[in-house]
């Protein structure tokens, strides 16, 4: 999907940069498509899984680890 979005973006950039007279509405539509596609590309690039609660270090994590070991021993 990322490749398809990149190719469409390249085509839009080429059409917008070409020295061709386009009707006003077509030019505006292409600009909005390019803008929306740029947003989609950014979202796809930043798509990362959110960290889970156990991956986030807490304050005093050494103490928390010692407490959990003590709980396991009981």
Q: Which residue range(s) make up the domain with 26?
A: 1-47
Torsions phi, psi for 56 (to 5 deg) = -85, 120
Residue 17 located in a structural domain: yes
Domain count, the chain: 1
**31 found inside a domain:** yes
- In a domain? residue 9: yes
How far are the Cα atoms of 51, 55, 64, 65, 68 from residue 58, in angstroms, in the given order?
Answer: 13, 9, 8, 10, 14
Asked, for residue 13, whether it belongs to a domain, the answer is: yes
> Are 35 and 10 in contact, with CB atoms under 8 Å apart?
no
pLDDT higher at 36 or 72: 36
Residue 33 lies in a domain: yes
pLDDT in tens, 19-66: 888 788 888 888 888 888 888 888 887 766 666 655 555 555 666 667
Q: Considering the domain boundaries, does residue 4 fall inside one?
A: yes
- Amino acid 32: pLDDT: 85
67 lies in some domain: no
Residue 15, Cβ density class (10 Å: 0-12 exposed, 13-18 middle, ≥19 buried): middle
Task: Kindly state whether residue 69 falls inside one of the protein's structural domains.
Answer: no
């Amino acid at each position: 999907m990322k490749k398809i979005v990149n190719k469409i973006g390249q085509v839009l950039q080429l059409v917008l940069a070409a020295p061709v007279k386009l009707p006003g509405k077509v030019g505006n539509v292409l600009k909005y498509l390019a803008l929306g596609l740029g947003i989609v590309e950014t979202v796809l690039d930043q798509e990362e899984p959110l960290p889970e609660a156990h991956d986030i270090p807490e304050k005093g994590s050494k103490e928390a680890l010692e407490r959990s070991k003590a709980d396991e021993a009981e």
